[in-house]
Copies of this chain bind each other. A is one copy, B any other.
Amino acid sequence: MTGPKSPDSSDEAQNPERSAVLGEKKIPAAVVKRLSLYTRALQNLERNKVEKVSSTALAGELGLNSAQVRKDLAYFGQFGVPGFGYHVGELRQHLKHILGTDREINVALIGVGHLGKALLSYGGFHRQGFRIMWAFDVEVRESHVGVERVPVYHTSELDRIIREESIELVILTVPAEAAQGIADRLVKAGVSAILNFVPTRLQTPDHVKIHYVDLAIEMESLSFYLR
């Protein structure tokens, strides 16, 4: 019923990976991901007492192009010294500030199943400075889980605690059927970033950022490359 010159008008074409706005520039999502990679590479260099690094060296470490490294950093300022490179410690501080990981971020995990429990015990988050402080489930079997003894609350307390504790980031590991319902409540309570392990496309307002980690898809698409 649309005009003859308006094909496919029902498409919304909202590609899941969009770009962010910082100040005036638009930062591509891929750049933000690489910023994280740079941070970790710098961390390793620092541990090895390396004090300077060139874009070429950093790029080599990560299998990237040196111009890309320089361009990525140039989105946020001029951190390098021509003829020298980058000061490792300094650049790392800058990046941590840009990423917002130089402050405490309150993280909760919802859905204490196999995967949820594993993530609560997983060392990788801690090492990057993330502390999951709350866990929720529809059924509270143990009051505390994981090495860090994270307290487990019933989902009925979700909305209250999220609000009271200003939880901004949530890891979602609930069954597929429950995901959208929980997401709606999270958004209402003020959560603005979700790391979603549930293989369901979540419907949320634009200001809420969702990253999808889809393990089954990773396996399936790998299988394509087998011979």
A168 within 8 A of B: yes
CB distance from A30 to the nearest CB of B (A): 10
Please encode chain A, from 200 to 227, with 1 for each CB lying within 8 Å of some chain B CB and 0 for all others.
Answer: 0100000001010101111111111111
| The one of B14, B60, B107, B122 that contacts A63, using a Cβ cutoff of 8 Å | B14
Please encode chain A, from 57 to 69, with 1 for each CB lying within 8 Å of some chain B CB and 0 for all others.
Answer: 0011111111100
Q: A222, B169: Cβ atoms under 8 Å?
A: yes
| The one of B121, B209, B222, B223 that contacts A222, using a Cβ cutoff of 8 Å | B209
Chain B contacts for A79, CB-based, 8 A: none
Chain B contacts for A168, CB-based, 8 A: 226-227
Give the size range of A's interface with the partner.
35 or more
Stretch at the interface among A36-44, A84-92, A133-141, A179-187: A36-44
What are 28 A-B contacts defined by CB distance under 8 Å? A8-B56, A10-B56, A11-B60, A11-B65, A11-B66, A11-B67, A13-B64, A16-B63, A20-B224, A36-B220, A62-B201, A63-B201, A99-B221, A99-B223, A100-B223, A100-B224, A115-B118, A118-B119, A122-B215, A124-B199, A125-B215, A125-B216, A130-B216, A192-B226, A193-B223, A194-B222, A211-B221, A213-B218
7 A-B pairs with the lowest CB-CB distances in the bound complex, closest first: A118-B118, A209-B225, A114-B121, A13-B65, A36-B220, A128-B216, A36-B217
